[in-house]
Amino acid sequence: MSTFSSRTAAIWESPYGPVPPDADLAVLGSGIKYLPPLLWKSRMLFRGALDRIVKKLTGDFPHTLGRGKTTHPLFVLKSLPNPAHRVCPCSSKDWGARRVIRKGCRLEYTGQITERDTFLVESCSFNLPMDSAFTNRLFFLGRVPEECIETRDS
């Protein structure tokens, strides 16, 4: 089999379709609302992850029940091969987080400003499920600049 036909077969046999080239997300700016996981990068922030699913995936996400809030933000810790991502839920409550996104941070690509300190609940991290019912609900907020992530002493 030739190299060309092997590459072509790999693209068409991929469950996620062809991998797009690196998109210049800055061109889209604040117009980005939904972003397919193929374009996710570390430090991206999303809102809309259903608490009941996050709790099922992590086993112990400490979300607050019964207050009408049923979702939490997700933070991309790192990208893994074939497109997969390690993510963690975020909270406005400090559940013993080691890292926090500072209030007033201007997010890359969208220019949105964080309204409050956002604690990364890394103890409840998980691999993002490749389930469109989960990922299609996630609203892209932007990418957190490294200087907005504060590491605290344990």
Half-sphere exposure of 105 (CA within 13 A, CB side): 24
* pLDDT tier at 140, thresholds 50, 70, 90: very high
Task: State mean pLDDT over 128-140.
Answer: 87
Letter for the amino acid at 59? G
Nearest C-alpha neighbor of 40 from the set 20, 67, 70, 59: 20
Global pTM reads: 0.80
Query: How much is the pLDDT for 12?
Result: 39
- pLDDT digits 0-9 by tens, 72-113: 999 999 988 777 899 999 998 888 889 999 999 999 999 999
Spatial separation of the C-alpha atoms in residues 24 and 21, rounded to whole Å: 9
What whole-number percentage of the chain has pLDDT above 70? 75
For domain 26-151, give its CATH number from 2.40.128, 2.30.30, 2.60.120, 1.10.10: 2.30.30
Query: How much is the pLDDT for 108?
Result: 94
Task: State mean pLDDT over 13-26.
Answer: 55
* pLDDT tier at 64, thresholds 50, 70, 90: low
Tell me if residue 87 falls in helix, strand or coil.
strand
User: What are the sequence ranges of the domains in the chain?
Assistant: 26-151
Tell me if residue 52 falls in helix, strand or coil.
helix
Instruction: Count CB atoms within 10 A of the CB of residue 99.
Output: 16
* pLDDT tier at 5, thresholds 50, 70, 90: very low
